Amino acid sequence: MHLHGEEQDIFLPGAGHHILEIEGWRLGLAVCYDAAVPEHARAARDAGADAYVVSALYATGDKHRLLEQTSRAAALGLWVAVSQYVGATGPYRTIGRSGIWRPDGVALEQLSEDQPGLATAQLHASTTG
């Protein structure tokens, strides 16, 4: 929905939130800069999302953005899952750190900065852990 930088030359913004339901869990989807817009996570929650699922590319120097954006979505009562590129791509060196956060903001699992991997966690509807 929200484009940034060169994305504006390639893509058109989406028109609204799409909630993906898997086994009763409602997932609000975010692509890169969507997560930087506070209203995006709030609108996903208001649309019924249980979790905020982000695919992003955070470059070196953007560690604060990862923490800020996961904390903001968790503060709304959402589980947060971030899939982040690892390594160099084009002019960017990324920070990695994909992970899964509980609605209280605590990381259940977070990967390293330089090793690709798969973060997994079991979500529970009645608890935060």
Q: Is 116 exposed, middle or buried (0-12, 13-18, 19+ CB in 10 A)?
A: exposed
Assigned token pair, 110: 């977070």
**Element spanning 75, H or E:** helix 63-75
- pLDDT tier for residue 8 given thresholds of 50, 70 and 90: confident
Q: What is the pLDDT of residues 27-78, one digit of tens each?
A: 999 887 778 888 889 999 999 999 999 988 888 877 777 778 888 888 999 9
Fold of 7-108: Nitrilase/N-carbamoyl-D-aminoacid amidohydrolase (3.60.110)
Separation of first and last alpha carbons in the chain = 30
Q: What is the pLDDT of residues 79-90, one digit of tens each?
A: 999 998 888 888
Q: Is the per-residue pLDDT at 1 higher than 90? A: no
Rounded CA-CA distance 108/81 in Å is 10
pTM of structure: 0.83
Of residues 36, 18, 38, the one with CA closest to residue 28: 18
Q: What is the pLDDT of residues 92-114, one digit of tens each?
A: 888 888 899 999 888 888 888 88
Rounded CA-CA distance 70/60 in Å is 17
Q: Where are the domains of the chain?
A: 7-108
Rounded CA-CA distance 5/21 in Å is 31
**Element spanning 89, H or E:** strand 88-89
